[in-house]
Amino acid sequence: NFVPKHPRTAISGALFDAAAKVIPGGVNSTARATWSGWTPYPLFVAKGSGSQLEDVDGNVYTDYLLGLGPMILGHRPPEVTRAVVDFIETRGTVFALPTADEATLADKIVAAVPSVEQVRLCNTGTEAVLYATRLARAFTGRRKIVRFEGMYHGFSDGVYWSKHPSIPAAGPDSSPRPVAQGPGLPAGVEQNLIILPWNDPEVLRAVLKTQGHEIAAVLTEPVMCNTGCILPEPGYLEAMREATREAGALLIFDEVITGFRLALGGAQERLRVTPDLSVFAKGLGGGFPVAALGGRREIMALVSDGRVSMAGTYTANGIAVAAANATLDILARPRFYGDLDAVSDQLRHGLQAVFDAAALPARVVGIGPLMQVWFTTHAIRNYRDAERFADQGLFDLWWRGMLARGVLFHPGAYENLFVSSAHTTADIEATLDAARDVAAELSRR
Protein backbone atom coordinates (compact mmCIF):
# COMPACT_ATOMS: atom_id res chain seq x y z
CA ASN A 1 0.00 0.00 0.00
CA PHE A 2 3.00 2.30 -0.39
CA VAL A 3 3.06 4.34 -3.57
CA PRO A 4 5.61 2.79 -5.92
CA LYS A 5 8.02 5.28 -7.35
CA HIS A 6 7.36 4.59 -11.01
CA PRO A 7 4.27 6.59 -12.02
CA ARG A 8 5.40 9.87 -10.47
CA THR A 9 9.00 9.51 -11.54
CA ALA A 10 8.77 8.32 -15.13
CA ILE A 11 11.28 10.86 -16.45
CA SER A 12 13.84 9.84 -13.83
CA GLY A 13 13.31 6.23 -14.95
CA ALA A 14 13.87 7.09 -18.62
CA LEU A 15 16.96 9.17 -17.83
CA PHE A 16 18.32 6.34 -15.73
CA ASP A 17 17.88 3.81 -18.54
CA ALA A 18 19.74 6.12 -20.92
CA ALA A 19 22.50 6.88 -18.41
CA ALA A 20 23.02 3.21 -17.55
CA LYS A 21 24.11 2.58 -21.16
CA VAL A 22 27.14 4.84 -20.82
CA ILE A 23 27.71 5.25 -17.08
CA PRO A 24 28.34 2.07 -15.04
CA GLY A 25 25.31 1.63 -12.81
CA GLY A 26 23.82 4.79 -14.35
CA VAL A 27 25.30 6.99 -11.61
CA ASN A 28 28.60 8.57 -10.62
CA SER A 29 28.76 7.29 -7.04
CA THR A 30 28.06 3.97 -5.36
CA ALA A 31 25.92 5.84 -2.83
CA ARG A 32 23.49 6.81 -5.60
CA ALA A 33 23.29 3.35 -7.14
CA THR A 34 20.32 1.01 -7.30
CA TRP A 35 22.19 -1.54 -5.18
CA SER A 36 22.61 1.10 -2.46
CA GLY A 37 18.86 1.38 -2.01
CA TRP A 38 17.72 3.54 -4.90
CA THR A 39 15.57 0.84 -6.47
CA PRO A 40 14.49 0.71 -9.19
CA TYR A 41 16.41 3.93 -10.00
CA PRO A 42 17.49 7.11 -8.25
CA LEU A 43 15.62 10.37 -8.61
CA PHE A 44 17.17 12.65 -11.19
CA VAL A 45 17.41 16.20 -9.93
CA ALA A 46 16.16 19.29 -11.71
CA LYS A 47 17.30 21.71 -9.01
CA GLY A 48 17.59 22.51 -5.34
CA SER A 49 16.49 25.65 -3.56
CA GLY A 50 16.98 26.19 0.18
CA SER A 51 15.44 23.20 1.97
CA GLN A 52 13.64 21.99 -1.16
CA LEU A 53 14.71 19.74 -3.99
CA GLU A 54 12.81 19.28 -7.25
CA ASP A 55 13.14 16.19 -9.41
CA VAL A 56 12.92 16.11 -13.21
CA ASP A 57 9.27 15.01 -13.05
CA GLY A 58 8.41 18.16 -11.11
CA ASN A 59 7.99 16.48 -7.70
CA VAL A 60 9.17 18.73 -4.87
CA TYR A 61 10.68 17.28 -1.70
CA THR A 62 11.76 18.66 1.64
CA ASP A 63 15.39 17.63 1.47
CA TYR A 64 17.13 15.90 4.38
CA LEU A 65 19.64 14.18 2.07
CA LEU A 66 21.33 17.53 1.48
CA GLY A 67 23.96 16.16 -0.87
CA LEU A 68 25.08 13.78 1.92
CA GLY A 69 25.95 16.73 4.11
CA PRO A 70 27.67 19.61 2.31
CA MET A 71 24.50 21.68 1.95
CA ILE A 72 24.48 22.83 5.57
CA LEU A 73 23.18 26.20 4.37
CA GLY A 74 20.60 24.60 2.08
CA HIS A 75 20.79 24.62 -1.71
CA ARG A 76 22.16 27.66 -3.54
CA PRO A 77 22.99 29.78 -0.49
CA PRO A 78 23.15 33.23 -2.13
CA GLU A 79 26.21 34.56 -0.28
CA VAL A 80 28.32 31.50 -1.12
CA THR A 81 27.17 31.44 -4.72
CA ARG A 82 27.98 35.14 -5.08
CA ALA A 83 31.44 34.75 -3.53
CA VAL A 84 32.32 31.90 -5.90
CA VAL A 85 30.96 33.62 -9.01
CA ASP A 86 32.77 36.86 -8.09
CA PHE A 87 36.02 35.00 -7.60
CA ILE A 88 35.97 33.09 -10.86
CA GLU A 89 34.74 36.05 -12.89
CA THR A 90 37.22 38.55 -11.55
CA ARG A 91 40.23 36.44 -10.57
CA GLY A 92 40.31 32.90 -12.02
CA THR A 93 40.29 29.36 -10.71
CA VAL A 94 43.66 27.57 -10.56
CA PHE A 95 47.08 29.21 -10.34
CA ALA A 96 49.55 26.69 -8.83
CA LEU A 97 50.59 29.61 -6.64
CA PRO A 98 49.13 30.78 -3.34
CA THR A 99 46.55 33.53 -2.87
CA ALA A 100 46.06 35.75 0.18
CA ASP A 101 42.60 34.22 0.60
CA GLU A 102 44.11 30.88 1.70
CA ALA A 103 45.64 32.32 4.86
CA THR A 104 42.41 34.17 5.57
CA LEU A 105 40.61 30.84 5.46
CA ALA A 106 43.25 29.06 7.53
CA ASP A 107 42.98 31.80 10.19
CA LYS A 108 39.25 31.17 10.42
CA ILE A 109 39.69 27.39 10.76
CA VAL A 110 42.44 27.72 13.37
CA ALA A 111 40.30 30.17 15.35
CA ALA A 112 37.28 27.87 15.16
CA VAL A 113 38.62 24.39 15.85
CA PRO A 114 40.20 23.68 19.25
CA SER A 115 42.87 21.18 18.13
CA VAL A 116 43.95 22.90 14.94
CA GLU A 117 47.12 25.01 15.12
CA GLN A 118 47.89 24.65 11.43
CA VAL A 119 45.80 23.45 8.51
CA ARG A 120 46.29 22.34 4.91
CA LEU A 121 43.55 22.14 2.29
CA CYS A 122 42.74 19.35 -0.12
CA ASN A 123 39.70 18.42 -2.18
CA THR A 124 37.83 15.51 -0.58
CA GLY A 125 37.44 13.69 2.70
CA THR A 126 39.06 10.61 1.18
CA GLU A 127 42.21 12.56 0.42
CA ALA A 128 42.30 14.26 3.80
CA VAL A 129 42.11 10.91 5.63
CA LEU A 130 44.83 9.48 3.41
CA TYR A 131 47.10 12.38 4.37
CA ALA A 132 46.18 12.12 8.05
CA THR A 133 47.15 8.45 8.27
CA ARG A 134 50.34 9.02 6.30
CA LEU A 135 51.27 11.92 8.54
CA ALA A 136 50.57 9.85 11.67
CA ARG A 137 52.82 7.07 10.42
CA ALA A 138 55.57 9.53 9.51
CA PHE A 139 55.33 11.30 12.87
CA THR A 140 55.34 8.19 15.07
CA GLY A 141 57.48 5.90 12.92
CA ARG A 142 54.83 3.24 13.50
CA ARG A 143 52.82 1.29 10.97
CA LYS A 144 49.36 0.37 12.23
CA ILE A 145 46.13 2.32 12.28
CA VAL A 146 43.24 1.35 14.53
CA ARG A 147 39.86 1.85 12.92
CA PHE A 148 36.34 0.78 13.85
CA GLU A 149 33.86 -1.57 12.28
CA GLY A 150 31.01 0.29 10.58
CA MET A 151 32.83 3.55 9.97
CA TYR A 152 33.74 5.00 6.59
CA HIS A 153 36.86 7.06 6.02
CA GLY A 154 36.80 7.33 2.24
CA PHE A 155 37.64 4.80 -0.42
CA SER A 156 41.44 4.68 -0.44
CA ASP A 157 43.13 1.27 -0.29
CA GLY A 158 44.56 1.77 3.18
CA VAL A 159 41.28 2.33 5.02
CA TYR A 160 38.50 0.89 2.84
CA TRP A 161 38.11 -2.15 5.06
CA SER A 162 35.41 -3.38 7.44
CA LYS A 163 32.94 -0.64 6.63
CA HIS A 164 29.93 -2.93 6.66
CA PRO A 165 31.27 -6.50 6.83
CA SER A 166 28.97 -9.47 7.06
CA ILE A 167 28.56 -10.85 10.56
CA PRO A 168 29.69 -13.39 11.78
CA ALA A 169 32.12 -13.88 8.85
CA ALA A 170 34.09 -10.87 10.16
CA GLY A 171 35.16 -12.80 13.26
CA PRO A 172 34.62 -12.36 16.98
CA ASP A 173 32.85 -9.27 18.35
CA SER A 174 35.83 -7.98 20.30
CA SER A 175 38.56 -8.72 17.74
CA PRO A 176 37.11 -8.51 14.23
CA ARG A 177 39.10 -9.52 11.16
CA PRO A 178 39.67 -6.80 8.56
CA VAL A 179 37.27 -7.38 5.66
CA ALA A 180 37.89 -5.71 2.30
CA GLN A 181 35.00 -3.52 1.20
CA GLY A 182 35.00 -5.31 -2.14
CA PRO A 183 37.48 -6.78 -4.63
CA GLY A 184 40.48 -4.88 -5.93
CA LEU A 185 42.05 -3.84 -2.65
CA PRO A 186 45.66 -5.03 -2.51
CA ALA A 187 45.98 -8.01 -0.17
CA GLY A 188 48.42 -7.30 2.63
CA VAL A 189 47.38 -3.70 3.19
CA GLU A 190 45.08 -4.88 5.98
CA GLN A 191 48.12 -5.97 7.99
CA ASN A 192 48.52 -2.29 8.76
CA LEU A 193 45.03 -2.09 10.25
CA ILE A 194 43.55 -3.16 13.55
CA ILE A 195 39.76 -3.31 13.43
CA LEU A 196 37.86 -2.83 16.68
CA PRO A 197 34.26 -2.54 17.84
CA TRP A 198 33.29 1.03 18.71
CA ASN A 199 32.12 2.23 22.12
CA ASP A 200 34.15 -0.40 23.95
CA PRO A 201 36.86 1.34 26.01
CA GLU A 202 38.15 -1.91 27.55
CA VAL A 203 38.95 -3.48 24.19
CA LEU A 204 40.65 -0.29 23.00
CA ARG A 205 42.73 0.05 26.17
CA ALA A 206 43.82 -3.58 25.98
CA VAL A 207 44.89 -3.28 22.34
CA LEU A 208 46.81 -0.06 22.98
CA LYS A 209 48.49 -1.64 25.97
CA THR A 210 49.67 -4.77 24.16
CA GLN A 211 50.24 -3.44 20.62
CA GLY A 212 50.69 0.27 21.28
CA HIS A 213 54.32 0.29 20.17
CA GLU A 214 53.14 -0.53 16.62
CA ILE A 215 50.13 1.80 16.53
CA ALA A 216 50.56 5.14 14.77
CA ALA A 217 47.01 6.35 15.30
CA VAL A 218 43.48 5.61 16.31
CA LEU A 219 41.21 6.87 13.54
CA THR A 220 37.59 7.51 14.48
CA GLU A 221 34.54 9.55 13.74
CA PRO A 222 33.70 11.32 17.02
CA VAL A 223 30.06 10.42 16.34
CA MET A 224 29.55 7.29 14.26
CA CYS A 225 27.70 8.62 11.23
CA ASN A 226 28.29 5.81 8.75
CA THR A 227 26.24 3.20 10.57
CA GLY A 228 23.20 5.36 11.11
CA CYS A 229 23.87 7.74 13.94
CA ILE A 230 25.56 6.26 17.01
CA LEU A 231 26.67 8.59 19.79
CA PRO A 232 29.80 7.91 21.82
CA GLU A 233 28.88 6.62 25.24
CA PRO A 234 29.80 8.96 28.10
CA GLY A 235 33.54 8.80 28.72
CA TYR A 236 34.38 6.79 25.61
CA LEU A 237 36.11 9.55 23.62
CA GLU A 238 37.87 10.64 26.81
CA ALA A 239 39.11 7.07 27.33
CA MET A 240 40.32 7.04 23.73
CA ARG A 241 42.17 10.31 24.28
CA GLU A 242 43.88 9.05 27.42
CA ALA A 243 44.79 5.61 26.08
CA THR A 244 46.28 6.97 22.84
CA ARG A 245 48.33 9.53 24.76
CA GLU A 246 49.70 6.84 27.07
CA ALA A 247 50.62 4.63 24.10
CA GLY A 248 52.27 7.47 22.18
CA ALA A 249 49.76 7.01 19.36
CA LEU A 250 47.93 9.89 17.70
CA LEU A 251 44.19 10.40 17.93
CA ILE A 252 42.67 11.34 14.56
CA PHE A 253 39.10 12.62 14.44
CA ASP A 254 37.43 12.15 11.09
CA GLU A 255 35.09 15.14 11.27
CA VAL A 256 34.08 14.96 7.62
CA ILE A 257 30.43 14.81 8.71
CA THR A 258 30.53 16.35 12.20
CA GLY A 259 32.94 19.19 11.40
CA PHE A 260 31.43 22.69 11.20
CA ARG A 261 28.06 20.99 11.83
CA LEU A 262 27.81 20.08 15.52
CA ALA A 263 29.46 23.38 16.39
CA LEU A 264 31.77 25.82 14.61
CA GLY A 265 34.61 23.81 16.18
CA GLY A 266 32.98 20.50 15.26
CA ALA A 267 32.37 17.50 17.50
CA GLN A 268 35.62 18.18 19.34
CA GLU A 269 34.28 21.50 20.57
CA ARG A 270 30.83 20.18 21.39
CA LEU A 271 32.00 16.96 23.06
CA ARG A 272 35.13 18.56 24.56
CA VAL A 273 37.72 16.02 23.48
CA THR A 274 40.79 17.27 21.65
CA PRO A 275 42.40 15.05 19.01
CA ASP A 276 45.92 15.42 17.59
CA LEU A 277 44.79 15.59 13.96
CA SER A 278 41.41 16.28 12.42
CA VAL A 279 39.91 15.91 9.00
CA PHE A 280 37.14 18.12 7.60
CA ALA A 281 35.17 18.30 4.35
CA LYS A 282 31.41 18.50 3.60
CA GLY A 283 30.19 21.36 5.87
CA LEU A 284 33.33 23.41 5.29
CA GLY A 285 32.55 24.23 1.67
CA GLY A 286 28.81 24.96 1.71
CA GLY A 287 28.38 22.66 -1.30
CA PHE A 288 31.71 23.12 -3.06
CA PRO A 289 34.49 20.51 -3.01
CA VAL A 290 37.00 21.39 -0.33
CA ALA A 291 38.53 19.44 2.55
CA ALA A 292 41.13 20.09 5.22
CA LEU A 293 43.61 18.35 7.47
CA GLY A 294 44.68 20.20 10.60
CA GLY A 295 46.27 19.61 13.95
CA ARG A 296 49.14 20.17 16.29
CA ARG A 297 51.94 22.33 14.95
CA GLU A 298 54.69 19.81 15.74
CA ILE A 299 52.93 17.18 13.63
CA MET A 300 52.07 19.55 10.79
CA ALA A 301 55.79 20.51 10.78
CA LEU A 302 56.41 17.37 8.73
CA VAL A 303 54.29 18.95 6.01
CA SER A 304 55.89 22.39 6.46
CA ASP A 305 59.30 21.22 5.39
CA GLY A 306 58.08 18.86 2.69
CA ARG A 307 59.08 15.61 4.38
CA VAL A 308 55.46 14.55 4.03
CA SER A 309 54.06 15.74 0.74
CA MET A 310 50.56 17.13 0.48
CA ALA A 311 50.08 18.17 -3.09
CA GLY A 312 47.50 18.32 -5.85
CA THR A 313 46.77 20.48 -8.86
CA TYR A 314 43.40 21.55 -7.52
CA THR A 315 44.18 22.02 -3.82
CA ALA A 316 43.09 25.43 -2.56
CA ASN A 317 41.68 26.34 -5.95
CA GLY A 318 39.83 29.64 -6.13
CA ILE A 319 36.36 28.08 -6.06
CA ALA A 320 37.10 26.00 -2.97
CA VAL A 321 38.68 28.84 -1.00
CA ALA A 322 36.06 31.43 -1.93
CA ALA A 323 33.27 28.99 -1.03
CA ALA A 324 34.83 28.01 2.30
CA ASN A 325 35.58 31.63 3.27
CA ALA A 326 31.99 32.65 2.55
CA THR A 327 30.56 29.58 4.29
CA LEU A 328 32.61 30.05 7.45
CA ASP A 329 31.55 33.71 7.67
CA ILE A 330 27.93 32.55 7.81
CA LEU A 331 28.61 29.68 10.23
CA ALA A 332 30.44 32.07 12.58
CA ARG A 333 27.37 34.27 13.11
CA PRO A 334 26.37 34.22 16.78
CA ARG A 335 22.99 32.49 16.47
CA PHE A 336 23.83 30.07 13.65
CA TYR A 337 24.21 26.83 15.62
CA GLY A 338 21.59 27.70 18.24
CA ASP A 339 18.99 28.20 15.50
CA LEU A 340 20.10 25.11 13.56
CA ASP A 341 19.91 22.98 16.71
CA ALA A 342 16.47 24.31 17.61
CA VAL A 343 14.97 23.32 14.25
CA SER A 344 16.80 19.97 14.36
CA ASP A 345 15.56 19.23 17.89
CA GLN A 346 12.04 19.98 16.73
CA LEU A 347 12.43 17.29 14.07
CA ARG A 348 14.13 14.73 16.32
CA HIS A 349 11.73 15.09 19.23
CA GLY A 350 8.77 15.39 16.88
CA LEU A 351 9.63 12.17 15.08
CA GLN A 352 10.11 10.31 18.35
CA ALA A 353 6.70 11.53 19.54
CA VAL A 354 5.11 10.36 16.26
CA PHE A 355 6.61 6.87 16.60
CA ASP A 356 5.67 6.66 20.28
CA ALA A 357 2.08 7.69 19.56
CA ALA A 358 1.87 4.97 16.90
CA ALA A 359 3.44 2.44 19.31
CA LEU A 360 6.17 1.67 16.77
CA PRO A 361 9.47 0.23 18.03
CA ALA A 362 11.61 3.14 16.85
CA ARG A 363 14.27 5.36 18.36
CA VAL A 364 15.40 8.64 16.83
CA VAL A 365 19.07 9.06 17.68
CA GLY A 366 21.28 12.01 16.94
CA ILE A 367 22.95 15.21 17.98
CA GLY A 368 22.28 18.66 16.55
CA PRO A 369 21.39 18.61 12.84
CA LEU A 370 22.39 14.97 12.44
CA MET A 371 20.07 12.03 13.14
CA GLN A 372 18.74 8.66 12.11
CA VAL A 373 15.81 6.43 13.03
CA TRP A 374 16.56 2.97 14.40
CA PHE A 375 13.64 0.60 14.09
CA THR A 376 14.32 -1.29 17.29
CA THR A 377 13.92 -0.68 21.00
CA HIS A 378 17.35 -2.18 21.58
CA ALA A 379 20.21 0.23 22.30
CA ILE A 380 22.61 0.44 19.33
CA ARG A 381 26.18 0.98 20.54
CA ASN A 382 28.14 -0.23 17.53
CA TYR A 383 27.93 -1.76 14.07
CA ARG A 384 27.15 -5.31 15.18
CA ASP A 385 24.25 -4.10 17.34
CA ALA A 386 22.87 -2.36 14.25
CA GLU A 387 23.22 -5.50 12.15
CA ARG A 388 21.61 -7.67 14.79
CA PHE A 389 18.80 -5.52 16.11
CA ALA A 390 17.75 -2.83 13.60
CA ASP A 391 14.82 -3.73 11.35
CA GLN A 392 15.99 -2.74 7.87
CA GLY A 393 12.73 -3.86 6.25
CA LEU A 394 10.74 -1.45 8.40
CA PHE A 395 13.23 1.31 7.60
CA ASP A 396 12.71 0.69 3.90
CA LEU A 397 8.91 1.02 4.26
CA TRP A 398 9.38 4.19 6.30
CA TRP A 399 11.66 5.65 3.65
CA ARG A 400 9.28 4.82 0.79
CA GLY A 401 6.30 6.19 2.68
CA MET A 402 8.06 9.47 3.38
CA LEU A 403 9.37 9.81 -0.17
CA ALA A 404 5.85 9.31 -1.53
CA ARG A 405 4.76 12.19 0.72
CA GLY A 406 7.47 14.57 -0.44
CA VAL A 407 10.14 14.01 2.20
CA LEU A 408 13.55 13.02 0.90
CA PHE A 409 16.38 11.36 2.79
CA HIS A 410 18.79 8.57 1.96
CA PRO A 411 17.25 5.12 1.46
CA GLY A 412 20.02 3.54 3.54
CA ALA A 413 19.32 2.88 7.22
CA TYR A 414 23.05 3.41 7.82
CA GLU A 415 23.01 6.97 6.47
CA ASN A 416 21.84 10.14 8.25
CA LEU A 417 19.13 12.74 7.99
CA PHE A 418 20.72 16.16 7.70
CA VAL A 419 19.06 19.44 8.64
CA SER A 420 20.21 22.75 7.13
CA SER A 421 19.91 26.35 8.23
CA ALA A 422 17.40 26.77 5.39
CA HIS A 423 14.93 24.36 7.05
CA THR A 424 12.10 26.21 8.79
CA THR A 425 9.70 25.30 11.55
CA ALA A 426 7.04 25.01 8.83
CA ASP A 427 9.23 22.50 6.93
CA ILE A 428 9.54 20.40 10.07
CA GLU A 429 5.79 20.56 10.77
CA ALA A 430 5.03 19.36 7.23
CA THR A 431 7.57 16.54 7.66
CA LEU A 432 5.97 15.51 10.96
CA ASP A 433 2.52 15.47 9.31
CA ALA A 434 3.90 13.10 6.67
CA ALA A 435 5.55 11.02 9.38
CA ARG A 436 2.21 10.67 11.24
CA ASP A 437 0.61 9.24 8.08
CA VAL A 438 3.45 6.83 7.45
CA ALA A 439 3.65 5.74 11.10
CA ALA A 440 -0.10 5.02 11.07
CA GLU A 441 0.34 2.85 7.98
CA LEU A 442 3.31 1.05 9.47
CA SER A 443 1.52 0.30 12.71
CA ARG A 444 -1.51 -1.10 10.80
CA ARG A 445 0.70 -3.61 8.97
| Largest Cα span, the chain | 65
Q: Determine if 294 is a binding residue for ligand PMP (CB under 6 A).
A: no
Produce one character per residue of 193-213: b if its CB has 16 or more CB atoms within 10 Å, e if not: bbbbbbbbbeebbebbeeebe
Q: Determine if 286 is a binding residue for ligand PMP (CB under 6 A).
A: no
Cis check for the bond before 168: say yes or no (omega within 30 of 0).
yes
In the list 62, 199, 226, 317, the residue contacting ligand PMP (rule: CB under 6 A) is 226
Q: Is the dihedral of CA 174, 178, 179, 181 positive or negative?
A: positive
In the list 55, 102, 149, 221, the residue contacting ligand PMP (rule: CB under 6 A) is 221
Neighbours of 22 (CB within 10 A): 7
Pick 5 or 410: Cβ nearer ligand PMP: 410
Pick 247 or 371: Cβ nearer ligand PMP: 371
Give least dist CB 295 to ligand PMP, A: 16
Q: Determine if 158 is a binding residue for ligand PMP (CB under 6 A).
A: no
Q: Determine if 281 is a binding residue for ligand PMP (CB under 6 A).
A: yes
Produce one character per residue of 266-305: b if its CB has 16 or more CB atoms within 10 Å, e if not: bbbbbbebbbbbbbbbbbbbbbbbbbbbbbbeebbebbee
Q: Determine if 102 is a binding residue for ligand PMP (CB under 6 A).
A: no
Pick 59 or 126: Cβ nearer ligand PMP: 126
Sheet holding 215-220, edge to edge: 118-122, 291-295, 277-280, 250-254, 215-220, 144-148, 193-196
Query: Among residues 184, 148, 149, 191, which one has the least CA distance to residue 166?
Result: 149
Give least dist CB 445 to ligand PMP, A: 32
Q: Determine if 36 is a binding residue for ligand PMP (CB under 6 A).
A: no
Q: Roughly what angle, to the nearest 10 degrees, separates helices 425-444 and 392-404?
A: 130
Neighbours of 127 (CB within 10 A): 20
Contact stretch for ligand PMP (CB under 6 A) within 10-18, 125-133, 202-210, 402-410: 125-133
Active site residues: 152, 254, 282
Q: Which of residues 357-416 bind ligand PMP (CB under 6 A)?
A: none
Q: Determine if 156 is a binding residue for ligand PMP (CB under 6 A).
A: no
* Distance in angstroms (rounded) separating the CA atoms of residues 354 and 270: 28
Site mask for ligand PMP (CB under 6 A), range 227-266, x = bound? ---------------------------x-xx---------
Pick 265 or 401: Cβ nearer ligand PMP: 265
Residues 6+ apart with CB under 8 A from 326: 79, 80, 82, 83, 84, 286
Give least dist CB 29 to ligand PMP, A: 8
> How remote is the C-alpha of 109 from its chain's centroid?
19
- Straight-line distance from the first to the last Cα atom of the chain, in angstroms, rounded to the nearest whole number: 10
Helices (H), strands (E): how many in the chain? Answer: 13, 14
In the list 154, 222, 265, 369, the residue contacting ligand PMP (rule: CB under 6 A) is 154
Give least dist CB 284 to ligand PMP, A: 10
In the list 44, 64, 152, 160, the residue contacting ligand PMP (rule: CB under 6 A) is 152
Give least dist CB 118 to ligand PMP, A: 21
* Distance in angstroms (rounded) separating the CA atoms of residues 313 and 429: 45
Q: CA separation (Å) from 184 to 23, 131, 365, 390?
A: 20, 21, 35, 30
Q: Determine if 424 is a binding residue for ligand PMP (CB under 6 A).
A: no
DSSP string, 73-107: T-BS-HHHHHHHHHHHHHT-S--SS--HHHHHHHH
Count of residues that bind ligand PMP according to CB under 6 A = 15
Pick 121 or 257: Cβ nearer ligand PMP: 257
Contact stretch for ligand PMP (CB under 6 A) within 172-180, 220-228, 323-331, 374-382: 220-228
Pick 221 or 387: Cβ nearer ligand PMP: 221
Pick 51 or 126: Cβ nearer ligand PMP: 126
Give least dist CB 416 to ligand PMP, A: 9
Supply angle C-alpha 84, 88, 92, rounded to 5. Answer: 140
Q: Determine if 147 is a binding residue for ligand PMP (CB under 6 A).
A: no
Instruction: Report the DSSP beta bridge partners of residue 119.
Output: 294
Pick 59 or 226: Cβ nearer ligand PMP: 226
Contact stretch for ligand PMP (CB under 6 A) within 100-108, 121-129, 264-272, 388-396: 121-129
* Distance in angstroms (rounded) separating the CA atoms of residues 427 and 404: 16
Summarize as ranges the residues that interact with ligand PMP (CB under 6 A).
68, 124-126, 129, 152-154, 221, 225-226, 254, 256-257, 281
